[in-house]
Structure formats: C-alpha cells, structure tokens
A and B are shown apart, each in its own frame.
Chain A
Amino acid sequence: MDCAQFEGIVHEIDRPGTEGFAFREAALAHAESCSRCARLMTQVESLDLGLRAFASHEAERQAPAHVGNELMEEFRRTKAAASRRRFRSQVVALATAAAVLLALGVSLRHRLMTGPSPAPARDLAGNHPSPAAPAGSAEPATTAARPDSEDSLTADNLASESADATAFVPLPYADDPSAADGGAVVRVVLSRPALASLGLPVTDMGATDRIPADIIVSEDGAPQAIRLVSQSSLDD
C-alpha cells in the first residue's frame, strides 16, 4: 500500500463493511513504515474520538414533550375527521340506494295501476338496422307525454295519431322485442342527422331542423323502436 491508497481509505478503516475496513491491516502496516501517514492516522483517530464524544453527548437530546403531545392531539383530530368523512360517505351511499329503491317502487306501482299498454301500430318487419346512434341526442319535447304520467300515450291515442305518423322502426341495438307490446311510448324531438343515424328515411337534411318522434322504451328504460310524427299532429 502506498500513501495515496492509504489516504483514500484512512477515514473508513474502522467502519465495517467498507473498503477501508477490508484493507485495515495493510493500512496499519503502512502507517508503521511511513511517519506522514502515521501522523494522519493519529489525527483521524483523534477526530473519531471527538466525534464519538460529541455523539455520546448529544445522544440524549430529543424534542420537548409538548411536541409529542401536540402531535398525538393532531393524530386524534385527524382520525376523528376521517371517521366523520367515512360516516358521511356511508350515509350518502345509503340515501342514494334508498332513493333509487323508492323511485323503482313508485314506477312499479304506477305500472301496476295503469295496466299494460296495447301494442302500438308499427311495422317492425323489413327495416334494416343502421349504425348505432347516440341515444343522448334525443331531446324530450316540452309537449311530449311521459310514460309514467297521466299524459302517457296509450294505444288509443296512438291509433288516432297513426294517420300523422310513420310505422315504428326497431332501433339497431334494440334487445327486447317484447317491449314493443308492453313498452311505454315517449315523444321526443330529434335533429334530422340524429334521425338518419337511427335508420329513418329523412330527406332534406338540415342540421338545425327538429323532428318530433315517438320512441318505445322497454321496462329498463332502453329505447327499442322509433317512428316519426308529423309536425301538424304535434301542433294540434
């Protein structure tokens, strides 16, 4: 070992697991033969003693008790706040579930009281499904009847309007053929492009035009078939 190597490891010859510790014996042997490195080793040992004395002197230092007490208080406050948040979210979830159940109950009761609707006049055969259309483009008309209200369209008034309306066309994604017999009819107002995307024969495409239409909705609320209604019948 030469002096440069000695200087490279002298600060860690007493630190287990280090390169200096691995070459400790060689370093000590070198210090015995080199007065300059022996002096450096003495200085390093003196530093180690000083650091150990300082560390030992400081070892009992710790934060005052009030710091720990305040932290414990904060921990309890945070825990209580978290419990309150959990409780609130559980209440909200329960309230939402209750509201949904109530709505379903009311809807079912209404259906039982009004009885099943006869099948609307329609022509489900011979129409070709077109690419899926966005159901969200439907805009309920302000004058349209709601299926669960007193103004729901029944077979009778549908029949009376049949002269002013086209036949029902099944929607491309209709998955409940029986809904055509028992489903509710909702009147909506749709744009021409939206109607065309549903496979209806719409000419003179004006994006801003609004066309009234009837949609058969199954029990789960999914639209099943659609027909156009003339503007005049809506005005009446």
Chain B
Amino acid sequence: MRAVDNDGKMTQVTDQTDARLLRRIMAGDEEAFAHVYRQKHPAIYRFALHMSGNAAVAEDVTQEVFMALIREPGRFDPAKGTLGGFLFGIARNHLRKRWERDRRLVPFTGDSEEMDDLISSSAASRNGNGHGPVASARDEFSSLETIGRVRQAISTLPGNYREVVVLCELEEMSYEEAASALGCPVGTVRSRLHRARAILVEKLCESRAARHAPAVDE
C-alpha cells in the first residue's frame, strides 16, 4: 500500500493492519500515530462537518476523536470492527453529546463566498486547458448549483438518515463498514439508506420543480 503525506513525499507502508498500528501507537511510535491520523482524519472531519454543519465543531470533534486514540488506544478491539469504524463511533458519540449540549447547531449550507472561489478557480483552470469559456462556465455553474441543492437536501435529512448517506454515499463505505461505525445491524443501514435516498429524490424533484416554475411578477 502507498500513502502520500502532507509534504507530498511518498512513503511505503507495508501491511499495516489496524491492530499492528495500534500496538505501535501504544508503544509510543509517533510515526504510526501520524500515519493513522493522515489516513483517517479527512473522513472523520467530513463526517463531523456534514453532521454538525459547522466547521469549528468538525475541527473539535476530529481533535477529540484522536485525543481519545492517544489517551486510550487500548479501547479499540480489532475483533469488534475496523479502526475506521471505531473512530467514526467516537466521532458520533461526541456529536451526540454536542447536540444534547447545544441545540443551536445549524445545517451546513455553504456560502456564496465559497461558490465564488470555486467558480473563479474553475475559470482559471478552464483558461489553461482551452475549453470554451462560456459553455464551461455554464456547466460549472450548473454543477455547483447541483452540489448546492444536494448539500441542502442532505442537511435537512433526519440525523440517522443523514449519517448513513454521509458514510455510504459520500465516504463510499460498504453497508458492513457503516454498520460497524454506527453500531447497528447491516439491515438497518440498508433500510435507512433506502429511505434517505427516497427522501432525497423527493427533495431534489421539489427543488427542481421550484427552479423551473415561472416567476410571478405582481
């Protein structure tokens, strides 16, 4: 297996099982911890971000998850699931605690500034590869619009539906991996995902219909 660290340096990681990495972390191996962090933290951060809708909360949750790994690495039992599932479980518990403590969290809807940045960076790359500027800009905007609508639809899902969508659709986990992370049976994941996708289809159809409806001027 190959991994690229933050400096772009290629490091060879051979047969690093979760249990072996955990043993090395418990023995104080800094490189093993850095490897686990590099490998696992983006998914944990994105999960916390999509579930909380708040980047600061996502940062805190990510930090708390890996703090737990530093302080109590022995809590992870390879017989009960993967390290990723274990870390997602911790993230989920922290998010729940936060929800109970602070119910003022708002869904993550993105902002116009971010959209502007994306459009300008896309335009810059477009100029470099010679595509027609007008058509590409239209496609790009349409794509960003779609992303915005999907994000909005996901953010309004009930929590237990949202987490299966985030894990199975955005993080591309299998039903089994998601079930391990959520601590529930595979059948529950499957049925929740089915229901969540049905809701998303409805929401996206509604939003598309609203977009195409003629504006009424008074």
Assess the A63–B42 pair: CB atoms within 8 A.
yes
A interface, over-half SS: helix
Given contacts A63-B62, A65-B6, A68-B37, contact A44 B197 (CB under 8 A): yes
* A8 to B154 Cα, complex, angstroms: 21
**Which residues of A lie under 8 Å from residue B70 when comparing CB positions?**
71, 74-75, 78
Residue of A55, A58, A65, A75 contacting most chain B CB atoms (<10 Å): A75
Assess the B150–A51 pair: CB atoms within 8 A.
yes
Assess the B41–A63 pair: CB atoms within 8 A.
yes
Assess the B59–A64 pair: CB atoms within 8 A.
yes
Size bracket of the B interface: 35 or more
* A78 to B26 Cα, complex, angstroms: 10
**How many chain A residues have a CB neighbour from B under 8 Å?**
35
Please tell me which one of the listed residues A17, A47, A51, A72 contacts residue B170 in the complex, with CB atoms under 8 A apart: A51
**Which residues of B lie under 8 Å from residue A94 when comparing CB positions?**
none
Q: Does B172 contact A (CB under 8 A)?
A: yes
Assess the A62–B42 pair: CB atoms within 8 A.
yes
Task: Give A37 Cβ to nearest chain B Cβ, in Å.
Answer: 13
Residues of chain B having any CB pair with chain A under 8 Å:
6, 28, 30, 33-34, 37-38, 41-42, 45-46, 49-50, 58-59, 62-63, 66-67, 70-71, 118, 143, 146-147, 149-151, 154, 165, 169-172, 174-175, 190, 193-194, 197-198, 200-201, 204-205
Residues of chain A having any CB pair with chain B under 8 Å:
8, 11-12, 17-18, 40, 43-44, 46-47, 49-51, 53-55, 57-58, 61-65, 67-68, 70-72, 74-76, 78-79, 82-83
A-B contact pairs, 12 of them (CB 8 A): A50-B204, A55-B171, A58-B170, A63-B63, A65-B6, A67-B62, A68-B6, A68-B37, A71-B37, A72-B34, A75-B30, A78-B71
Task: Given A50-B150, A57-B147, A72-B33, output 8 extra A-B contacts at Cβ < 8 Å.
Answer: A8-B194, A11-B197, A18-B175, A43-B204, A53-B147, A55-B170, A65-B6, A72-B30
